[in-house]
Amino acid sequence: MKRTLLRLTAALALAAGFAAPADANTLKMIRDRGKIICGTSPGVAGFSTQDANGRWEGFDIDICRALAAIIFNDTEKAGFVPLTSKDRLIALQAGEIDVLPRTTTWTLSRNAGQGVTFTTVNYYDGQGFMVSKKLGVSSAAQLGGASVCVAQGTTSELNLADYFRKLGKKYEAAAFGTSEEALKAYESGRCDAYTTDISALSAVRLKLQDLDSHVILPEVVSKEPLGPWVRTGDETWFNLVRWTVLALINAEELGITKANVKEMLKSSNPEVKRFLGLDGKMGEAMGVSNDWVVRIISAVGNYGESFEQHLGESSRLKLSRGPNELWNKGGIQYSPPFR
């Protein structure tokens, strides 16, 4: 009943265009509780899934475990609440979770007047289409008149409408309450195509009974910058979540890995010493210990390690880095200076 009332209150606030009051000190609340609570998807391969023992793992899960390492020096002091696309931001605003690291696009309408704030991009994505090879199309531009399965409460719904309006072609949208329902409808033949972010298409394709009979079309029809969200109004918590993601990226650029982070504590490089908390008090300024970056990298590795393990060639998805490569290696991932 309490959870229902919280969500109802948050939903009314969202509909009215104003934010519910944020917790004055999220970090203190987490410490008092003894664990951090993170929102996650019901299950997207590579980003957030449960293993055979029920333990959550994935690219987005690493962010939550990194935060648990900072606060408690224990990655297991992280709890996870599976949320559908339509419920995820409401649950965050209602206080059911502390942070939403799951795949959620940064948009103006979400960031303005809804009581939630985007922190920083941890994955650059874009929307695409998956079709059965039997359909005989090789381009999304050939989908005029097609029926397309899509999940409600996602940016994919609006992008879908925009795309076909730009093409000047008709289509039929079949919207479902969850991504899982939309995928099942597509696989059963109810729709000609299924649309969501490219990374998610790569993940859900693995769930299909005959995955080789389905192909992801080459077009990328939108920009989908993904990353963690927090409630508006707590600048300290916002900064800690943002700079946690940026620390993962900066560690990769500096060549600091899970295997060598302890050895790097002996470095004479002033940039490395400052980053790892040997010089200055950047951690204390955010309400945590000065070795917070060491805790992050010791727990989950750097950005590239997390990407490779969950999304890259070492994973089932085998996604290329693409724009998520570092800025000095042809991508656009970039951390502001740690100084």
H-run or E-run covering 138: none
Distances (CA, A) of 105 to 83, 88, 91, 152, 313: 15, 12, 16, 14, 24
Q: What ranges in 86-234 are assigned the alpha helix state H? A: 88-93, 108-111, 155-167, 179-187, 198-205
pTM, two decimals, is: 0.90
Mind listing the pLDDT tens digit of every residue in the chain (339 residues)?
445 444 444 444 444 443 444 446 999 999 999 999 999 998 899 999 999 999 999 999 999 999 999 999 999 999 999 998 889 999 999 999 999 998 899 999 999 878 999 999 999 999 999 999 999 999 999 999 999 999 998 899 999 999 999 999 999 999 999 889 999 999 999 999 999 999 999 999 999 999 999 999 999 999 999 999 999 999 999 999 999 999 999 999 999 999 999 999 999 999 999 999 999 999 999 999 999 999 999 999 999 999 999 999 999 999 999 999 999 999 999 999 999
Please, what is the end-to-end C-alpha distance for the chain in angstroms? 47
The whole-number pLDDT of residue 17 equals 41
Closest CA to 10 of 118, 111, 117, 96: 96
The whole-number pLDDT of residue 86 equals 87
Q: State the chain's maximal CA–CA distance in angstroms.
A: 63
> Do 245 and 31 meet the contact criterion of CB atoms below 8 Å apart?
no
CA distance 8 to 67: 29
Closest CA to 93 of 13, 162, 194: 13
How many Cβ atoms sit within 10 Å of the Cβ of residue 314? 12
Q: Torsion-angle region of residue 46: left (phi > 0), alpha (psi -120 to 50) or beta? A: left
